[in-house]
Every structure is written in C-alpha cells, then in structure tokens.
Chains A and B, each alone.
Chain A
Amino acid sequence: DTGVSQDPRHKITKRGQNVTFRCDPISEHNRLYWYRQTLGQGPEFLTYFQNEAQLEKSRLLSDRFSAERPKGSFSTLEIQRTEQGDSAMYLCASSLTGGAGDTQYFGPGTRLTVL
C-alpha cells in the first residue's frame, strides 16, 4: 500500500495570490479529510469527503477556501486571495468506512508560507 501523498510539500506565495494543493489518498479509501496545523498547535479539522460528496465543513473554512474531490479519488484544496494568517501546514488524511474506528492515515502535509 502506498500511503497518502500530498503535493507540493512546500509552497511560498505572496499575499493575495491563489494557491492549490493536491492530496492523493490511500487507494480504495472512501473518506478524505483536510486539517490545518499551525505552529505549536494540534491539527484542526477543515472539511471531509465521503467519495465525491463533501459532507462537513468547519467554520474555519472561510469562503476563500474551497475543496473538491471530483471523482472520489484525489482531492484539491484551493485558497483564494491568500492572507498571512493562512500560513500553516495543511494535512490530508484518508480512511476506509467500516474499518474499525475509521482510522485516519495522514500524508506528509503541505507547508504554506504567505509573505
């Protein structure tokens, strides 16, 4: 099994630019999650998908953020008009429905720096 992969691993952008991150889950995992982690904090939930349906979004996910999972496989997270406060590690995780406890397996993350 290959693990969860994320691309890019690092992204530096200027304030006001748009950025897009990609996540490829473990094959056959039907649930996919996005979290954000800032320095010194634990990951915070952003959103999750079951297959291609986005089932829940956190209040942290402002209207500048959008996530998609068009074919129920990979997912993208786009941030429009980035702000310095968006600087964080963006983590993706996947799980399999019915797997005991729906254990989430995490990717290596994409570190975003907004200048």
Chain B
Amino acid sequence: AQSVAQPEDQVNVAEGNPLTVKCTYSVSGNPYLFWYVQYPNRGLQFLLKYITGDNLVKGSYGFEAEFNKSQTSFHLKKPSALVSDSALYFCAVRSFNDYKLSFGAGTTVTVRA
C-alpha cells in the first residue's frame, strides 16, 4: 500500500517570505514523488517530481522540493512567495511498478500581500 500525509490543512505566509508545504509518504520500494497545484475549479498542474538522483529537485514557477529518504519526506519550498502562489497543493507518490498515484488531502496556501 502507498499513502501520503500532508499534515497542514492550511499554510499562511506573507508575500516575499519563504514558503514550505510539508509531505510525508509511505511506499514499498523506491518512491516516485510528485507535487501538483490546483486553482479553483481547475485540474491539477504538475510542478515537479523526484525519481532518482539529486535530493533537491527544482520545478516550475521557482518551486523546489527536497527528498529525504530517512524521514520519508518530500517538502515543497519556495524562497520568496507571491500572492499568485495562493492555491491548493497536492503531494503524490507511486512506486516503481505501480502507475497509479496516491495523493495527500492537500494543503491550502494563502499568501497575503
């Protein structure tokens, strides 16, 4: 079985401050990890992924994520948040030989001006 936990329902930050959205996972074998963002009444947009290699992954719109195998975490980060980053963020995991994604419940990010 595979699963994702996003421990924070909401994250509130001021514009220009660093943003972190937390994610921990459980999966058999090596994980494939993904972050998606969802705007109201829209589908999910892919931000970044970790498959193998460097533990720090860079993605779209200035986002990055750090894979930590010992802590089974894959936290999403942005050094300087923008108001336009306000959205719902999902972490997802799959194993090497299982193509379906398992998603966390999501974290709502609000960036105030």
The residue that B99 contacts in the complex, of A6, A31, A42, A107, with Cβ under 8 A, is A31
Contact status B101-A103, CB under 8 Å:
no
- Whole-angstrom distance from the CB of B94 to the nearest CB of chain A? 8
B71 at the interface (CB under 8 A from A): no
B-side interface size class:
20 to 34
Cβ-based interface call for B44 (8 A): yes
Interchain CA distance A35-B36 in the complex, whole Å = 14
> Are A43 and B103 within 8 A (Cβ)?
yes
Give the interface size bracket for A toward B.
20 to 34
Chain A: minimal CB distance from B30 (Å)? 11
Decide: B104 and A33 in contact? CB cutoff 8 A.
Answer: no
Partner of A108, one of B32, B42, B51, B100: B42
Contact between B51 and A42 (Cβ–Cβ < 8 Å)? no
| Given contacts A41-B106, A42-B103, A101 and B43 within 8 Å (CB-CB) | no
B contact patch SS:
strand
Which residue from A41, A91, A101, A108 sits with its C-beta under 8 Å from B105?
Answer: A41
**Contacts A45-B100, A45-B101 given; 19 further ones with Cβ under 8 A?**
A4-B43, A33-B101, A40-B105, A41-B106, A42-B4, A42-B103, A43-B90, A44-B103, A56-B99, A56-B100, A58-B100, A100-B49, A101-B49, A102-B99, A106-B43, A106-B44, A107-B43, A108-B42, A111-B41
